[in-house]
Amino acid sequence: MEKENNLPKEELVDQRGFISKKLINENIDNDSLGTDHIGVEILSVEPDNLYKTISKLKTYGFNYLQCQGGYDEGPGKRLVSFYHLISVGDISTIEKIMEVRVKVFLSRDSDLSIPSLYSIFKGSDWQERETFDMFGINFIDHPNPKRLLMPEDWRGWPLRKDYIQPDFYELQDAY
């Protein structure tokens, strides 16, 4: 039995947030990462479970992908793709906006591919392209997987913390 925070895994389930418990009850594996400073529940899922998890969260009422992005934990450490989902509906019937954040942690030394959420949320199109462009995370089945911000022939991933900037980049047709 793996222990974390000196508690058996069975006791950790009791410390999960409402959404994490609900997903576990529906056999969707996730790890609870607690809440952020304003109380938004944060979940971690494996790349293979991302599509299923987000699809299920949409059925729970999280019908708007507010933000998708990436970040680098540091040189030699993991790359992360995150998703911030909220519920959008008739504001008169909502007492509090529901929010959840989902993170996918990727080992820099492994396959940096995760499913695209384009078929669930069309708004993920440019957000996933930017994450690819800056961090090199590939989104499987994305309809237009090409660079968004950098030139197509750019080498490397500029927002990785181990990125070494080239001495120069030759602009063609600059004059």
- Reported as type and span, the H/E element at residue 19 is helix 18-25
Taking 90 as the threshold, does the pLDDT of residue 174 lie above it? Answer: no
Taking 60 as the threshold, does the pLDDT of residue 173 lie above it? Answer: no
Residue 61 maps to a domain: yes
Given a contact cutoff of 8 angstroms between Cβ atoms, the answer to whether 129 and 43 are in contact is no
Predicted confidence (pLDDT) per residue in 56-65, tens digit:
999 999 999 9
Sign, CA dihedral 19-21-24-30, equals positive
Domain boundaries, position 41: 9-111
* Total structural domains within the chain: 1
Predicted confidence (pLDDT) per residue in 7-63, tens digit:
555 555 467 899 999 999 999 999 999 999 999 999 999 999 999 999 999 999 999
Residue 145 maps to a domain: no
**CATH number of domain containing 18:** 3.30.460.80
Residue 3 maps to a domain: no
Residue 91 maps to a domain: yes
Residue 65 maps to a domain: yes
Predicted confidence (pLDDT) per residue in 100-129, tens digit:
999 999 999 899 999 999 999 999 999 999
